[in-house]
Structure 1
Amino acid sequence: MTRILHIDASARPHSSAENPFGSHSRRLGARFALAWRTAHGSDENIVYRDVGQQPPQPVSGAWIHAAFTKPEQRLPWMSETLAESDGLIDELLAADIIVAGVPMYNFAPPAQFKAWIDNIVRVGRTFGFDRSRPGDPYWPLLAGAGKTLVILSSRGDHDYGKGGRIEALNHVEASIATAFNYIGITDIRSVAIEFDEFADARLKASIEKAEAEVDALVETLVRERQQRNAA
């Protein structure tokens, strides 16, 4: 069975499908999860984490000290400091598909999601480092694991997508992809709602388009996973 890790990062606690002041990224994430459950008749393989409402602790000096100490040399306080990070990484390692609802805040992901990224991009767990290694001393530890990342975003303005008039201002998908590529996850799909700050017919059309894209993406991923399992 395919395992899903569903993450919400919006500071807004409700979906815009239920509350006019709710989150569009939560709306798309919920739609993805519902479509996946419908396709499989079960949600037992979906793990949900709301970093928007319960963000991980940000990386501290103690965290860095502990993370860059070899596991066999760590003191008890170091293991305690890394416990939350270990749990988040374990969830990531167990997942086949990571579905991340990440709105754009001031052209980039919310701080809550950045804290999650900082906790899961970790030496010895998701990337390797050896200063004596010829060439590149860093390498991804999740390469070849067959994982897929789905980024479901929302934006106040419009034309942030590829070739759009303000593509250069969009540091959401690009920054997330950089971090995931670094640890070896390169299969990345994305859908986004735009025009939120306009709150007119263009927003409605963007929501409808994005929801249709999410539905189609779920169908595609289900088919791809079935073909992969049959191979």
Structure 2
Amino acid sequence: MSFRYAGADRDALAGVSVDVPAGSSLALVGHTGSGKSTLAALVARLHDPTAGRVTIDGVDVRDLDPEVLASIVGVVSQETYLVHASIRENLLLAAPEATDADLWQALAAAQVADLASLPDGLDTIVGSRGYRFSGGEQQRIAIARTILRGPRVLILDEATSALDNETERALQVALDRLVEGRTTITIAHRLSTVEGADQIVVLDDGRVVEQGRHGELLAAEGAYAGLALAA
């Protein structure tokens, strides 16, 4: 599979072939600009491959109804999008039938249940582009929204990048519970967050240069080991 952005003079991804068994975890690592987020974006069909295809359970994502694909693939990224509405309304975008109890349960799992201390609780207005909350709080609300959706395929693109170390550790526990039984694709610069992945793919300049598990890749003393030393 290959992909080239419009107007670019070279491929952002070239000859990439990755198989992720259902229910397993894949970690994408590499330097900035290596193609990690581009590959994840193709899974969510934010773009279509220039050559080749992306399939889920053998079905080309281009053949899936957009609403069906959106229910299958959930994305939590460092670029969090919250609408200018209440916390409740933002969460109900993912699960319109959810009760307040469901919403608080999801917020608790995302380590942001302290919103209960706000005078208006779930009716608190998030504000344009979420300005009322810190970047970490916005990400945790977005993660709560994904928890409510319960997607079969979960993409975590630097999902905890705006969190301090203590909050990240707490949230990682929640994410570990969330990913159980789901196919998970994690993009991270901090290799400590992907050491337990079933499969690690190292990208460099849009190509797969290494593939394996954490221990195997360290022992190979190649590109992954270099990233680990630089961390």
Q: If the length of structure 1 is used for normalisation, what is the TM-score?
A: 0.31
Q: Identify the structure with bigger relative contact order (alpha carbons < 8 Å, sequence gap 6+).
A: 2
* TM superposition score normalised by structure 2: 0.31
